[in-house]
Amino acid sequence: MRRRRGSSLQEALLEAAWAELTERGYAGFTLEALAKRAGTSTPVLYRRWTDKREIIEAAIAHASATRPVEVPDTGSLRGDLIAIMQATNRARVDLLAAATVHLGSYFDNTGTGPEQLRELALNGRPSAAEIIGRRAADRGEIDPAVLTPRTINLPFDLFRHEVLMTLKPVSDEAIEDIVDTIVMPLLTRPR
């Protein structure tokens, strides 16, 4: 077996950590099982991370980074919202489901919630909601004054709710219903 080093080893460790997390959950996640899955030893893990929490957070950030969702620019707010939710269905529904199913004890142990993990995954970048909202305002489709954090995040909050309730991708019909009956009337209403 070829000895892995550097980024090759790091990637293998993070992929193994994600696999352990999605199979065993946070409560069943152990450094010993991770080391065995990755074909290494626990001292190798401790040279990179101080504890289980850091490994889990790194694995989530890595899983998010390896499933990029490009923010579409279809030329319309409606088109952008539908396209981003459909792309998220294809690339990231497993991340949302994992946060629900496997991280309950992580949140209990760390005193954090999904919002902190979302911030970790964003890594300081603007969210898709912010980008889409800004573009729509620049095109004159919506009044920039309606772009409060709550209104611009609403379509994504409703999308996440659907995923968390079903643990499945959101149907195209449900996505269009969210956009057409709730979000567009809210964001495009006269001020």
pLDDT, tens digit (0-9, with 9 covering 90-100), for 118-169: 787 777 788 899 999 999 999 999 999 999 999 999 999 999 999 988 888 9
Q: Count Cβ neighbours within 10 Å for each residue of 100-112 and write b for 16 or more, e otherwise.
A: eebbeebeeeeeb
Length of the chain: 191
How many folded domains does the chain comprise?
A: 2
Q: Are the CB atoms for 98 and 19 separated by under 8 Å?
A: no
Lookup: tokens for 43: 């001292």
19 and 76 in a single domain? The answer is no
Q: What is the DSSP letter of 111?
A: T
Residue 160 lies inside a defined structural domain of this protein: yes
Asked if 78 and 52 sit in the same domain, the reply is: no
Q: What is the helix (H) or strand (E) element at residue 84, kind and residue range?
A: helix 77-101
* The predicted structure's pLDDT at residue 110: 87
pLDDT at 2: 53
In a domain, 1, yes or no: no
Please tell me whether residues 16 and 78 are part of one structural domain: no
Specify the residue for token string 């996640």: 29
Cα torsion 97, 100, 105, 108: sign:
positive
Q: What per-residue confidence (pLDDT) applies to 98?
A: 73
| Structural domain range at position 98 | 70-187
pLDDT < 70 positions in the chain? 1-4, 99, 191
Asked which of 45, 63, 81 is the last residue of a domain, the reply is 63
Per-residue pLDDT at 1 = 46
In the block, residue with structure tokens 């990755």: 38
Position 119 scores a pLDDT of: 80
Contact 123, 117 (CB under 8 A): no
Q: Looking at the structure, tell me whether residues 32 and 116 fall in a common domain.
A: no
Q: How many helices (H) and strands (E) does the chain have?
A: 11, 0
pTM (2 d.p.)? 0.79
